[in-house]
Chain A
Amino acid sequence: MSKPHEVLIRPIQPRDLDDLTRIFMAMYDERDAGSPIHTTLRHDRPPESEITGYFRELIHRSQIGEAAVVAADMDGHAVGFCNIARAGPPALSEVSHVGELGILVHRDHRGVGIGTALLEESLAKARSKFELVYLSVWSNNEAVRLYRRFGFSVCGHLPRMVKRGNDYVDEERMVLDFSKTPAGPGAKG
């Protein structure tokens, strides 16, 4: 089992493209094998090129400063990432002070603190870019607790927002307001 100190948290790079695509596609393997993964996907499996396109765009947005994206690097490979991207594509929108957070860790490397490390680093970076960070998380996901430790609070409960097969899942909307949370060493409690 990997330990968090073997993991390097660093900015996302173009060479991460294949790893990130692989991490994302692995979510489909998990879901289709019946694992309760808490990420909203498509009913069918998207072509890999589509996912690669998404990450290419994300890397680009990171390079032009529209997003704070960090990767967890293990032996030279990305095994997870956290992305805080400007809400709404154009920088001149009335919501450009808001970042939207998304995070993903490969199934083989969960539960060892990588998510915490990713959040710590990306929120530290986001503080100079955004005034608030919002995120959506499945209501039944333990990550809600982790987000709370970083100062997020629930600001909305969205019923039946996701439909997987015949099951519905609610989502929590959470917010972190930097003006109300002092900069510091990250997770509390």
Chain B
Amino acid sequence: MRSTADILVRPVRKEDFDDLRATYFQLYDERDSGESIGITLFATRPTVDDEAVWFDRMMHRVLEGDEIFLVAEVDGHVVGSCSIDRVGAGPSSEQAHVGELGILVRKGTRGKGVGTALLERSLAEARSRFELVYLTVFSQNQGAQRLYRRFGFSVCGHLPRVVKRGGQYFDEERMVLDFGTSKDPVKVHRGEARS
């Protein structure tokens, strides 16, 4: 078991594209081999060009201050990422105070505290930029929900059948963390992390 000391969490860089793309594409392998992964995907795998467009747009949003995007590095490779993206279109939106969280950890690196380390840093940054953070998680992904609860998130919605994979439907939970009502700095209890 790797300790969190070996995990470096840092802002995203241009050079991270290949690792991030590989981490994302691996989810399609997982899904297509029948593993239950709790992330909404496209029916078919996007192209490398599609991913380049996504990456450029994300880097631009980071630069504009509309998105926090941190990566976790282990042994010189990016193995996970966490984004908190402004919900409203730009800082003048009536929803500009809300961030939407997404997190991704590479298979083989899960259960080692990468998700916890990413959440810790990302939420600390989000506190000075957003007033609330929302996220959506597959209802069956109990481990992730436990982790989010430890960071102060609570369930505020249950979205039935919102994802359809093959002929199967999945429900999602909507969760929220309100910085206005959770004044304490984020507390992390190490040793029970799941991601």
Contacts and interface: CB of A to CB of B under 8 A. Distances in A.
A90 B158 contact: no
Given A42-B92, A92-B43, A157 B157 contact: yes
A155 B158 contact: yes
Interface string A149-188: 0000001111111111000000001010100000000000
A162 B97 CA distance: 8
A158 B42 contact: no
Which DSSP category, helix, strand, loop or mixed, fits chain B's interface?
strand
A158 B40 contact: no
Given A93-B42, A94-B164, A132-B161, A158 B174 contact: yes
A156 B165 contact: no
Interface in B83-105: 88-90, 92-98
Interface of B: 40-44, 88-90, 92-98, 131-132, 134, 156-165, 174, 176, 178, 180
B94 A175 contact: no
Interface residues of A, number: 29
A58 B132 CA distance: 30
Contact of A156 (B92, B95, B156): B156
Given A155-B158, A158-B174, A160-B132, A42 B94 contact: yes
Q: Which of A98, A160, A164 has the most CB of B within 10 A?
A: A160
Contacts of A75: none
Given A41-B94, A42-B92, A94-B40, A156 B164 contact: no
A94 B163 contact: yes
Interface string A89-130: 010111111100000000000000000000000000000000
Contact of A173 (B88, B89, B93, B159): B159
